[in-house]
Amino acid sequence: MERNETVLIEKSLVGEGKAFEELLSPYLQPAYSFVLSLTHDVPMAEDVMQETCIKVWKHLGRFDMEKSFKTWVFAIAKNTAFDALKKKRDLPFSTFVSGESEDTGELWSERIADEAPLADEILARAESVELLEQKLQTLPEGFQQILRLRYREDFSLQEISEILGEPYNTIKSRHGRAIFSLKKAFEKDSLAASDFTGVSYSK
C-alpha cells in the first residue's frame, strides 16, 4: 500500500474526517460504476455506496495495512450490493457471480493467458469503446464482472479473487472462459480475425 494511504488511514483512525475523505475519494466513482454494473439500478447503487462508505469508516481499524485498500473497498462494495440485491429479489447468487455453465471438461485457463499483451490490437478491432461495451453486455453477468474488474479497474486476478471471495484458480478459469466468450462475440460479427489472449477497457 502507498505510504500516503497509510498516513491517511492513521489520521482517519483518530477521527480526522478530512483525511478519510481524501483516502476514500479516489475510489468512489470506480466503486460506484462497479456497483451499478451489479445492480443495474441507480437509486440502489447510490444507497449501496452510502452504506459502503459507512462500513469502510466503521471497520477501518480491521483493515490489513499490508494489503490493497482499493481491493478492500471494492470487496465491501460487492458484498453490500449483493446483500441489497438479495433483499430485493430473493435470488440465489452463485450462478450470477460465476457466469459459468456446466463443466465442459476443458481447462480454459490453460488455453488462454491471464494477461492482455494484445490489448491495443483488440481495441482496434473493436473500433470503439462503445462497441466493446456492447459486446461485454452480451456475456453472462459474472463474465462482465470479472472483465471489468480486470481491464477497467486494473485489478490482478489475485485481487479479484479477494474482492469476490472466491479461490484464485476459480477466478483464473472464469477469466479464461470470459475472454473466450468475448472472442466468440466478436467473431460472430467478423470483427476479430485470428487468435488473441486478452482485452482492454478504457476508463
User: Quick one: pLDDT at residue 156?
Assistant: 93
Question: Do 100-188 and 3-89 have the same topology in CATH?
Answer: no
CATH architecture classification, 100-188? Orthogonal Bundle (1.10)
Choice between 50 and 104, residue whose per-residue pLDDT is larger: 50
pTM above 0.85, yes or no: no
Is 1 a residue whose pLDDT tops 70? no
Q: How confident is the model at residue 203 (pLDDT cuts 50, 70, 90)?
A: very low
SS3 letters across 120-135: HHHHHHHCCHHHHHHH
Choice between 198 and 152, residue whose per-residue pLDDT is larger: 152
Mean pLDDT of 70-95: 81
Mean pLDDT of 124-131: 62
Q: How confident is the model at residue 182 (pLDDT cuts 50, 70, 90)?
A: confident
CATH T-level fold of 3-89:
Rna Polymerase Sigma Factor; Chain: A (1.10.1740)
Which range among 62-71, 122-131, 164-173 shows the weakest confidence by mean pLDDT? 122-131
181 C-beta neighbours (distance < 10 Å), count: 19
Which range among 41-45, 54-58, 174-178, 195-199 shows the weakest confidence by mean pLDDT? 195-199
Mean pLDDT of 80-97: 69
Which range among 23-27, 155-159, 170-174, 191-195 shows the weakest confidence by mean pLDDT? 191-195
* Residue spans per domain, the chain: 3-89, 100-188
